[in-house]
Amino acid sequence: MKPRFREINMAPHVIYFFVTLLFSSFFFNTFSQRQMESLDRGLVAVSTGGNNVFLSWRMFGNDPSDIAFNVYRGTTKVNSSPITTSTNLIDSSGSLTAKYSVRAIINGIEHTTDKEVSVWSSNVLTINLQRPSNIYAPNDINVGDLDGDGEYELVVKYEPNNTKDNSQSGIVDKVYLHAYKLNGKCLWKIDLGVNIRGGAHYTQHQVYDYDGDGFAEVVCKTAPGTKDGTGTFLRLGPAANDNDNADYRNSGGYILTGPEYLTVFEGKTGKELATVNYVPARGSSLKADWGDDYGNRVDRYNSTTAWLDGKRPSIVFQRGYYYRLTCAAWDWCDGKLTQRWLIDSRKTPGYSSMNDQGNHSIMAADADNDGK
């Protein structure tokens, strides 16, 4: 679940966001049985000039249909009657020094407020970043409550300036993941190592609280040489006895040999929690298995989070398209990463229609309205 931002500028070391509908949650058809994130209301207060302050907050997917809200400036209630038709308002008697809070009203009872928030002086939030070096720029960003405080943090992928499309050869520098709070504090840094290639199609990290403990996890493809957020090489599962000094890049910069992993990292610290072999493996017959022999189609990835059983979130990683398309679903529960299923357009009966298809993104939806 991502906060909805419109990006208006991106300098190499600073991220700027223009607020449109801040921190809105996805809405689902069945909520009571579904494991969701434990978030606060995400109240944001933005000065719009003069004494006007725009306020916007989060409505949860499992909120009752008759929920209402009260908004407070300090101890003064801003709205004259409970708000029932929106999750935003403008306080025409506000100020830059005011503090605001929002309280939900459920079954006629006003619930305890989240913490007060200060007013932004403009509609731009500036976050100073810690680039790995001056050849790096922030790229994809996912959000999740990494430290259990009810607020979203940002997991930023850094790509070097020599990244390549899968169709292009060339040696590429390493890729990094950094976690930031919205005040700019860096929680941890993950170094994916030389055996994860930089480029738009390679690293598709997922961030969500998969086991329901109140802390989001980070999941992505890894390899020998990957260091977790504590600065330690991967050491669990198949990574326990690998060669972290190995460089599997060939003369064209492609990585077509060597171990491939899927790793779950702790959101709060970036520590490795579990590592398994990546499914499906690339194999040794690239032309026959994936449609070309130089590493284009085999290393095109997508990922998403989906409630496949209607109750718990699962991790879905897709590998390959334009020839062979595969999807593997994983569950993270009780400290174990367990494969739920694997679909392979070339091998799984009933899925051959996906052969030779492809897209640069993937999305999960309850298309048949069965809650899954």
Q: Which residue has the tokens 């990244």?
A: 163
> Residue 193 corresponds to which tokens in the numbers above?
């190592």
How high is the pLDDT of residue 114?
Answer: 87
How high is the pLDDT of residue 112?
Answer: 85
pLDDT digits (tens, 9 = 90+) for 229-284: 999 999 999 999 999 999 999 999 999 999 999 999 999 999 999 999 999 999 99
**What CATH architecture does domain 44-118 belong to?**
Sandwich (2.60)
CA 121 vs. chain centroid, Å, equals: 28
212 phi and psi angles, rounded to 5 deg:
75, 25
**14 in Cβ contact with 25 (< 8 Å):** no
Q: In Å, what is the CA distance from 186 to each residue of 134, 310, 344?
A: 18, 34, 39
Which residues of the chain are under the pLDDT cut of 70?
Answer: 1-32
Beta strand 44-49 with 52-56 is antiparallel
| Helix, strand, coil shares, percent, the chain, to 5 | 5, 40, 60
> Residue 207 corresponds to which tokens in the numbers above?
């961030």
> Residue 216 corresponds to which tokens in the numbers above?
């989001």
How high is the pLDDT of residue 32?
Answer: 55
Q: What is the DSSP letter of 238?
A: G
- Distance between CA atoms of residues 303 and 96, nearest Å: 41
- Distance between CA atoms of residues 23 and 28, nearest Å: 16
Q: How far is it between the farthest Cα atoms of the chain?
A: 69
Q: In Å, what is the CA distance from 121 to each residue of 38, 49, 94?
A: 28, 9, 12
Q: Cis omega before residue 280 (within 30°)? A: yes
Looking at the chain, the domain(s) classified CATH 2.60.40.10 span: 44-118
166 backbone φψ class: left, alpha, beta (φ>0; ψ -120 to 50) = alpha
Beta strand 117-120 with 44-49 is parallel
